[in-house]
Structure 1
């Protein structure tokens, strides 16, 4: 090699050696950027632009759940999700259920939800006094439930709000409602007062359903229960208007005044044309009405009539009752209702 060429070669060599540290710096910078980007994908806003619902089945692993989350669009990357979970020392234990993923929920927040079991709560509500035909309708309308359901036996469902998960059978939810009533009635019956007019838990449910439909004021439930208990003991007809309506609508609102022909109808429910309790409940009574008939007020009242405020005025004698009825009619005439 000519001398000039060798000199140029020796002068260029140091330049190649100096590129080593620069490459390391660039590599380190890229690593930092990658880590920072990964952390942003982990802790920053998630990709969901609308509310999502993801169901994690029983026995599912974190890896399987991550796949479902990625498919639903709740996380950016399944491998990244699992990598950060492992990096942070998470043990992979998650709870089954349906999860509501709000828009922008981060992967880190989603993992916390899975581990803490913050599942979405779906509820179907049975208000006090709802008849069974409407209970069946509520179950059929509840979103996310599956399968058919028949109208339950009247008085077999305990009014309450019941949680369920997506794809749960309607029959399973109904079974929980009925199990709750069986359990509550057994406990309440065991703690009942002595000397009641009812002799069986079924009779208690029948009377409680009438009390439930007769008053919307909690404070007077026990007095209404006492009136009916006193009438049963005296052998008097209960004369409860809701028992006239039940055979006509199965508990749904009548939407009009009771007809004279309906008042005189003879069937297993009309307590104007029969003595004693009707043949079955006329609604699903709530806890308060069940408690009221098992612990009625200490009252000798045999009559009650509306007082114009949503409640009732009570009387021990027929003469007192007639005076109260006259006042009620006068109030209705003043209101233009008669």
Structure 2
């Protein structure tokens, strides 16, 4: 009888272990399986939060079906105490295992609020925007000019949130003084900077964090521009009339200021290359303007005839060849255009009223284009009165 009882006990234990193993296996499979989330969501984890609060939030959002299993999985993988604060993008159908990894791996927030400090040629702007998880696109919440507008509540509300991300977006064609002035006005940065060399900063978008030094941001911009300049110089055309990367940078800055039409850059570059080849003066207004402003602010008016004739190191109506320094910070496209201009016969261009330019090979053609442009200017002036 005892042998029979012992045999039954062993059988029961085997069945129980089998059932427990099956439950564990089922739990593991469920933990790793696709989740119920139909559309991506943004999960915000507050500082000091825990897996219990996170699992409850995920259940409310429909991202997980079982909060207990989510917490057990986090414990089993030794990640329960590695929860990071921030805003995290949880993709559709994300498994519980994937979500645990997302909220514990660390790094910058992947969704939520972003404040973008835009440094433009004519103005500075601050933009507050939110990522729409469903589309992966940012939606503007507020935008203002810090020099002119009252600071909106949407900005002050998110400024002190730990998971707010910050970005500095520098436009092509801004001067180094403009970048320095903008960085000095961004309170989340620390330290002091001197004005960087003209042309040495790469226009781009740079993510920054509270407490980053202004010097470190400038260093990143300088390093990025050095890489772009070196790549453009190495890939330059054999017959480009430039003797050094520094000359390429100078010409690229002039191209950047002469046109905002991307498809025109190589044509504009061809005009300057043809003029340099023929020993002609470049005769470009942006260099004259730089000789007046030195890149500090915007001239804000038209050039006077006396200024076009006035001798400065940058006045290409007076000097031969390139000016001594860049006149702005050119982007990648202008560097590449300076290194590889189109092959054209053009040596003249003038605005055509569409935002682009009319190009000409002869002075007679150019004078006709100028006359047409003067007519457009007059018509616009009359329509404004």
Aligned match of 1:117 in 107, 110, 113? 107
- The aligned residue for residue 303 of structure 1 is 348
Match of 2:209? 165
SS for the counterpart of 2:105 is: helix
Residue 330 (1) aligns with residue 375 (2): yes
Question: Structure 1, residues 147-181: CA drift from partner, whole Å, max 9, x if none?
Answer: 11221100001110011222111111110110011
Alignment correspondent of 2:284: 240
CA distance in structure 1 between the aligned counterparts of 2:291 and 2:249, rounded to whole angstroms: 17
Correspondence list, 1:102-113, <5 A? 112-113=102-103
Q: In structure 1, which of residues 114, 137, 142 is the aligned counterpart of residue 181 of structure 2?
A: 137
Which stretch shows the higher mean deviation, 163-172 or 204-213?
A: 163-172
- Once the two structures are superposed, the pairs formed by residues 1-338 of structure 1 within 5 Å of their partners are 69-70=47-48, 88-92=75-79, 99-100=86-87, 112-119=102-109, 121-251=165-295, 252-336=297-381
Q: Secondary structure at the match of 1:182?
A: helix
Shift of 1:307: 0.4
Change (3 A) 1:284 1:53: farther
Q: Which runs of 4+ in 1 moved over 4 A?
A: 51-54, 74-78, 84-87, 92-96, 109-112
CA RMSD in angstroms comes to 3.1
Q: Is the 8 A contact 1:197 1:233 kept in 2?
A: yes
Conserved in 1, the CA contact under 8 Å of 2:88 and 2:102? no
Residue 287 of structure 1, CA deviation: 0.3
> Gapped runs of 5+ residues in structure 2?
1-42, 54-70, 90-98, 110-162
Alpha-carbon distance change, 233 to 143 in structure 1, aligned in 2, over 3 angstroms: same
State the structure with bigger RCO (CA 8 A, min sep 6), 1 or 2: 1
Between the two proteins, the alignment pairs up a number of residues equal to 262
Give the number of the structure whose alpha-carbon radius of gyration is greater: 1
Give me the whole-angstrom Cα distance separating, in 2, the residues matched to 1:189 and 1:285: 14
Structure 1 stretch displaced more, 115-124 or 236-245: 115-124
1:149–1:101 Cα change, 3 Å: farther
* CA apart distance, 1:216: 0.8
CA distance in 1, matches of 2:250, 2:175: 12
Q: State the TM-score, normalized to the length of structure 2.
A: 0.62
* Structure 2 Cα separation of the partners of residues 269 and 317 of structure 1: 26
Deviation per residue, 1:275-319 (Å, 9 max, x gap): 100010000000000000111011010000110111100000111
TM-score (norm 1): 0.70
